Structure 1
Amino acid sequence: MEIIITKGEHRNTLLCKRTDGTFTSADLGPEIPNHDIAHFVAEKKFNLTKGFYGNIANGMTINDLSNKDIIKNLDSESWLAEIMTRNLQSLGSETISIKEYIALVTWEASSMQNIKIPAMNQTQISELQSEYIQLCKQWNSISKNEQLQLHF
């Protein structure tokens, strides 16, 4: 699936083109691309096929994934993806360390039912952090109407 985030003046656009040619898109707030980038990095690194982008690749729309009635019935892997994404943003801003990332993800995920926590080591999380920071820098360096293109 191709993920295209287009920078606007005050808002941005997320477009996801599935391999079958269908797509979904949404208008995003100014800070949302960093969250969407974190989803991409975490889900790709840990092969989460039922996270945000996995659900979109499998036919859900961005609007579906914003609907509270749908969200509450998502697979436990979707919740894991959200936990990993939120904590990756903290790791990227260096408000937590790699060890703290692993501990926080493990603690938060273990407090919820049926979440299978992947094995994580410091090397993997360092790579996760590096890729996230690099993509955020790339996003920050592009101008209005330019795009960040990712492949999931």
Structure 2
Amino acid sequence: MNLKNKTITTGFIIAGLMNSSVLIFSRFFTNTTIPEFDAQVMSNFGLLMIFIWGLAYISVSKKYKNVKYLIAIFSIEKFIYGFVWINWILNNSISDVFEKDVMAGIFYSIYGINDWLFFLFFTYVFIGLIKNKNSA
């Protein structure tokens, strides 16, 4: 299966926009429920860094072939967040989050799924770039 360059570029932009959605779910970092339920990973600083990662994805969307090892780093980063999310889901009650704040509940329900999907996407793109001898 080969994805076209335009599809891959769109994938990077969607990944960036998905990360940027932390601005909505956190109400521009004023939602205290998200950090309350995972102060270490989802502090306001952590949410800001998620947003910054999103900007990084968008920034390479048209030049991804030139930064193949950065794409590998994106994949590792998404794996880590996906793994952290699974651990969080297994050790916390999502219904407790929903009771306190619906936006935070939605955020905790979907962020890991998003990370796993884009882990697969970034890994696929990286492997494709490694296999392509013409890539930079």
Provide the TM-score with structure 1 as the length reference: 0.29
Tell me which protein shows more helix as a share of its residues: 2
Tell me which protein shows more strand as a share of its residues: 1
Larger Rg: 2
Provide the TM-score with structure 2 as the length reference: 0.31
